[in-house]
């Protein structure tokens, strides 16, 4: 197959890209990734230079891999700052590096998209070869595959890449809950009471919840939400890089794949959470509010999402990175994965040793978190 590096995703027609396996994930849709580029949310100036891989055979586009040349490690959620520091202390450049990920999005999903007639294992092998060759041509320090879904993570691990584990907290609809009460019935009495109290606090404050999706989200909704989003980022000392035009673009092009949970009082939106969905998974991404009302954050970001999953038959709810407070609200620890190609042999060995020591610590942390499960029986 012939491999090409793309610095502009629009050079591939959306229909071709979206025909590949894996693009039911909303963050891998052409509309989402091209929207980031077209609205200026990713660019060389921001430290996210598009570097997508497209592999063609005689039948056309066979494999595609989102990728970016990174001049820093912000917005990745797999933390390698210590690796970069070690390179710098030894007089070697760590940046730029190649990252195969969705910008600013710590959500699991395919990292290798491929035509349906190509076995996934063959596609992954071809993608890794193309990635490594691209990194070597540009004399990059490394290439990183962040948050691959478990099946692809296993296949990537067979390609001589270093393996790293992380932890998130996800909710699962494994029993096929009939409604929110059915979910509550699986929790301990203490946790049921706590969740009911939080939901009651929001309702008693006069806050009503409304869920809108796709084109049902109005321009006024987007403007209010973007204000909340910016405020939240500023309050935490972060830069809100996603623009109002990008969010509007998602609402216009991704249809019901975009979900906004709105908290309203007397008809006025005072808080909102933005989520995305695939055929089987709901992904929580951003939240913000104009007022600090007890319970409103949990209602907007978690409980409404759980209700949405139950109502729409979704199996998994990924509410975002980190957050031990999620455990008591029904979210359990789940392993996340990343895979890493390191060019310099000495540093590869050092990082491999670091990962051998880090992995049991992550596993011990997850085991400890499982001890705090809110469920009456093991999930």
Residue 19 confidence (pLDDT): 98
- Are residues 238 and 126 both part of a single domain? no
- Are residues 280 and 352 both part of a single domain? no
User: How many angstroms separate the CA atoms of 187 and 175, rounded?
Assistant: 13
Confidence of residue 13 (pLDDT cuts 50, 70, 90): very high
Q: Which residue, 284, 314, 344, sits at the end of a domain? A: 314
- Are residues 80 and 153 both part of a single domain? yes
How many Å is the maximal CA-CA distance in the chain?
63
- Are residues 102 and 218 both part of a single domain? no
- Are residues 145 and 203 both part of a single domain? no
**Is 341 a domain residue?**
yes
Confidence of residue 377 (pLDDT cuts 50, 70, 90): confident
DSSP E strand stretches across the chain:
2-6, 48-50, 52-57, 60-65, 68-70, 97-100, 113-114, 142-146, 162-172, 208-213, 258-265, 268-277, 281-289, 316-318, 332-342
The DSSP bridge partners found for residue 308 are none
pLDDT in tens, 83-110: 999 999 999 999 999 999 999 999 999 9
pLDDT in tens, 185-241: 999 999 999 999 999 999 999 999 999 999 999 999 999 999 999 999 999 999 999
Tell which residue, 187, 147, 157, 189, has the closest CA to residue 28.
147
Going from the C-alpha of 315 to that of each of 108, 186, 188, 211, the distances in angstroms are: 14, 16, 22, 19
**Is 319 a domain residue?**
no
Tell which residue, 78, 104, 267, has the closest CA to residue 168.
78
- Are residues 11 and 156 both part of a single domain? yes
Percent of the chain with pLDDT over 90: 97
Write down the pTM of the prediction. Answer: 0.96
**Is 191 a domain residue?**
yes
**Is 326 a domain residue?**
no
SS3 103: coil
Domain of 87, CATH number, reads: 3.40.630.30
Residue 29 confidence (pLDDT): 99
pLDDT in tens, 17-66: 999 999 999 999 999 999 999 999 999 999 999 999 999 999 999 999 99
What value does the mean pLDDT of the chain take? 97
- Are residues 31 and 65 both part of a single domain? yes
User: How many angstroms separate the CA atoms of 333 and 166, rounded?
Assistant: 10
- Are residues 62 and 180 both part of a single domain? no
- Are residues 131 and 34 both part of a single domain? yes
Which residues, other chains included, contact 256 with Cβ-Cβ below 8 Å and sequence gap of 6+? 213, 214, 277
- Are residues 14 and 155 both part of a single domain? yes
Per-residue pLDDT at 282 exceeds 70: yes
- Are residues 125 and 81 both part of a single domain? yes
**Is 376 a domain residue?**
no
Tell which residue, 226, 225, 230, has the closest CA to residue 272.
225
Tell which residue, 121, 122, 170, has the closest CA to residue 330.
170
Tell which residue, 1, 347, 293, 339, has the closest CA to residue 149.
339
Confidence of residue 14 (pLDDT cuts 50, 70, 90): very high
Per the listing, tokens 């038959």 go with 313
SS3 7: coil
| Number of domains making up the chain | 2
Q: Tell me which residue range forms the domain holding 247.
A: 175-314
pLDDT in tens, 121-148: 999 999 999 999 999 999 999 999 999 9
Per-residue pLDDT at 322 exceeds 90: no
The tally of CA atoms less than 13 A away on the side-chain side of residue 237 is 1
**Is 42 a domain residue?**
yes
**Is 65 a domain residue?**
yes
**Is 22 a domain residue?**
yes
User: How many angstroms separate the CA atoms of 287 and 238, rounded?
Assistant: 14
Residue 378 confidence (pLDDT): 73
Per-residue pLDDT at 175 exceeds 90: no
Residue 379 confidence (pLDDT): 66
- Are residues 107 and 185 both part of a single domain? no
Percent of the chain with pLDDT over 70: 100
């Amino acid at each position: 197959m012939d491999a090409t590096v793309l610095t502009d995703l629009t050079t591939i027609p959306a229909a071709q890209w979206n025909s590949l396996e894996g693009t039911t994930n909303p963050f891998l849709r052409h509309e989402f990734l091209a929207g980031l580029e077209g609205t200026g949310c990713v660019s060389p100036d921001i430290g996210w230079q598009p570097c997508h891989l497209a592999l063609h055979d005689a039948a056309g586009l066979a494999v595609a891999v989102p990728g970016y040349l990174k001049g820093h490690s912000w917005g990745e959620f797999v933390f390698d700052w210590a690796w970069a520091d070690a390179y710098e202390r030894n007089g070697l450049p760590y940046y730029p590096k190649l990252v195969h990920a969705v910008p600013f999005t710590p959500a699991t999903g395919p990292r290798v998209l491929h035509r349906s007639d190509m076995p996934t294992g063959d596609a992954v092998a071809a993608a890794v070869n193309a990635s490594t060759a691209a990194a070597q041509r540009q004399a990059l320090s490394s290439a990183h595959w962040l948050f691959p879904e478990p099946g692809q993570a296993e296949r990537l691990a067979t390609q001589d890449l270093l393996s790293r584990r992380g932890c998130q907290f996800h909710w699962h609809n494994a029993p096929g809950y009939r409604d929110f009460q059915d979910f509550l019935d699986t929790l301990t009495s203490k946790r049921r009471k706590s969740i009911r109290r939080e939901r009651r606090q929001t309702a008693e404050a006069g806050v009503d919840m409304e869920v809108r999706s796709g084109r049902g989200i109005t321009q006024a909704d987007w403007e209010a939400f973007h204000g909340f989003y910016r405020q939240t980022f500023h309050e935490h000392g972060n830069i809100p890089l996603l623009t109002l035009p990008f969010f509007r673009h998602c609402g216009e092009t991704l249809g019901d794949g975009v979900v906004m949970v709105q908290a309203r009082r007397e008809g006025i939106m005072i808080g909102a959470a933005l989520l995305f969905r695939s055929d089987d998974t709901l992904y929580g991404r951003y939240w913000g509010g104009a007022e600090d009302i007890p319970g409103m954050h949990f209602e907007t970001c978690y409980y409404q999402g759980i209700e949405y999953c139950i109502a729409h038959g979704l199996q998994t709810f990924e509410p975002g990175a980190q957050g031990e407070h999620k455990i008591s609200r029904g979210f359990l620890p789940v392993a996340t994965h990343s895979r890493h190609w390191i060019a310099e042999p000495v540093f590869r060995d050092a990082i491999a040793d670091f990962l051998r020591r880090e992995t049991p610590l992550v596993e011990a942390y997850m085991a400890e978190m499982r001890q705090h499960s809110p469920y009456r029986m093991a999930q």
